[in-house]
Amino acid sequence: MNKKLAEKIAIITGGAAGIGFATARLFLEEGATVAICDINSQKVDAAVGELSPFGPVKGFVVDIAKKEMCESMVTQLVAEFGRVDILINNAGITEDAQFYKMTEEQFDRVLDVNLKGTFNMSKAVIPFMMEQKYGKIVHASSVSAYNGNFGQTNYAASKAAIIGMTRVMGKELGKYGINVNAIAPGSIMTDMYKAVPEEAKQKKLASIPLRRYGEPREAAQLFAFLASDESSYITAQSITIDGGFN
């Protein structure tokens, strides 16, 4: 059976847990060489240990809000493998508070990681993708960009901005053979989401037409489709995966 990501070199940010980890595993199963990065070194080591039976995986400790760390990771990867084919900008954080209580630090930190981090990683890979006339970049947005989850002014702003970035990047980079898209997940049952109070989860469930939460692997499958040549004529798009919630 042909593997849809055979011989591709892929970077997945936030790859040590949740959707990023599920995506890394699926990419390995589909034949890619995968580099994951995360800010926590213990989580990176543990993830590489768990993922290594599925294929070639490398781990990097990177704070994507820091441009130099992003550039260093990409430079090391290209030095070893000669190219980078796929970037999955999955890493993101939340620091929720109602707007009138939200501090400037909370706002800045979420924008620094979610939005500036996406910018930093994209800037690091694009020169190599332009040179090789090939690349797939997929950003993680969120349904919060559309419906504005309560207490998430900073998060919704960052994820809405990513949709705008996706449209422009897709238009600008198409002539270089680079596809840029985004996925906008709804309620995906990651460890982070499991921590939500049960009452809140049940209330949310009632508003999802499919009457269930998404699994990390389902989001990973959409990432894999957009990272593969099966989606070769799709660019500058944001695709929602939320069971019909939005």
2 in a structural domain = no
CB 118 within 8 A of CB 162: yes
1 in a structural domain = no
199 in a structural domain = yes
Number of domains in the chain: 1
Task: Measure the CA–CA gap between 186 and 213, rounded to whole angstroms.
Answer: 8
Q: Give pLDDT, residue 190.
A: 87
3 in a structural domain = no
Residue 240 has pLDDT above 80, yes or no: yes
233 tagged catalytic: no
Task: Measure the CA–CA gap between 153 and 131, rounded to whole angstroms.
Answer: 38
In the sheet that holds 86-89, the strands lie side by side as 57-61, 33-38, 9-13, 86-89, 135-140, 178-185, 238-241
Task: Give me the percent of the chain exceeding a pLDDT of 70.
Answer: 100
CB 170 within 8 A of CB 180: yes
Confidence band of 200 (pLDDT split at 50, 70, 90)? confident
Q: What is the pLDDT of residues 104-132, one digit of tens each?
A: 999 999 999 999 999 999 999 999 999 99
What torsion do the CA atoms of 160, 183, 78, 13 make, to the nearest 10 degrees? 70
The residue from 134, 146, 155, 213 that is catalytic is 155
Residue 114, domain extent: 9-241
223 in a structural domain = yes
Q: Which residues pair with 182 in a beta bridge?
A: 139, 238
**Coil, strand or helix: which one is 35?**
strand
Specify the CATH number for the domain of residue 190. 3.40.50.720
Alpha helical stretches, state H, the chain: 18-29, 41-51, 67-81, 104-110, 117-132, 144-147, 153-173, 191-194, 198-205, 216-227
Angle at the Cα of 28 from the Cα atoms of 37 and 131, rounded to 5 degrees: 65
Q: Give pLDDT, residue 203.
A: 87
193 in a structural domain = yes
**Coil, strand or helix: which one is 181?**
strand
What number is the average pLDDT over the span 211-236? 97
Residue 1 has pLDDT above 80, yes or no: no
56 in a structural domain = yes
